[in-house]
Amino acid sequence: MKPNLHHHHHPHWRRGISRPEVAVVLLVLGMLGMLVAGFISLSAERGRETACSINVKRLVVAFQNHAADRSNYPASGRLGEELPEDWVHWQGRRRIEQSALAPWLGEISSRTMTCPEDMDTRHRSFPFSYTMNMYLHLMPANALATPATTVVVFEEERPNDGACLPGHPNDRLAHRHSHGRSQAGFADGSVRLVRPDVGAPTPQQ
């Protein structure tokens, strides 16, 4: 008997993807996309927050070194005064490179003086984000009783000069960072996030 050379091929049934399944896949992909976008956005926000913290840290260290070398804090750069001892020269044609704090800062520019989250500097007379505690205006360095709770550098919401008077309605702290908080640099050299509504400790003489 001759072998049967004709093989019977059974057809392979291929079932297409149903519309509900397509909808589920698209939904999952959409959710994954939202998660990735949220993660990227959060990472970028944390990066800007870190950059702001580094800026404040540089300023605090410069204030510390100025106080150690000159035995006092610089002038606060408040509105209506233009003193050579101002920590920041910002009025008119004054150059920031000639300010009292410049020798201890190294690089000093709009980038290092501005929080990356602060998008409103071009519409203000004071073009930077950070201000000095007005209570420390030309204060002797040895007059601080509680450096760990005395704020030197504030991050203001809309500063109009180089000085910040804690609690004054025109000197509101920023709320740009996580949980609506603001960067603050203390006299002991630390930098911490603080709530803008709690008020800032002032030096006790």
Q: Rounded to whole angstroms, how far apart are CA atoms 71 and 41? A: 44
Q: Rounded to whole angstroms, how far apart are CA atoms 31 and 76? A: 50
Tokens 């913290």 appear where?
A: 53
Please report the pLDDT score of residue 11 as a whole number: 53
Q: For residue 156, what are the β-bridge partners?
A: 173
Residues 177, 55: contact at Cβ < 8 Å? no
Output 9 or 122, whichever has higher pLDDT. Answer: 122
Residues 88, 128: contact at Cβ < 8 Å? yes
CA distances from 4 to 7, 9, 10, 11, 141 (A): 8, 13, 16, 20, 106
Has residue 205 got a pLDDT over 50? no
Q: What are the extents of the domains in the chain?
A: 25-194
Output 104 or 42, whichever has higher pLDDT. Answer: 104
H or E stretch at 53:
helix 19-70
- Nearest in space to 164 (alpha carbons), one of 130, 132, 121: 132
The whole-chain average pLDDT of the chain stands at 84
State the pLDDT confidence band at 46, using cuts at 50, 70 and 90.
confident
Contacts of 136 (CB under 8 A, 6+ apart): 73, 76, 150, 152, 203
For 149-184, the pLDDT digits (tens) are: 999 999 999 999 999 998 888 898 998 888 889 999
Has residue 18 got a pLDDT over 90? no
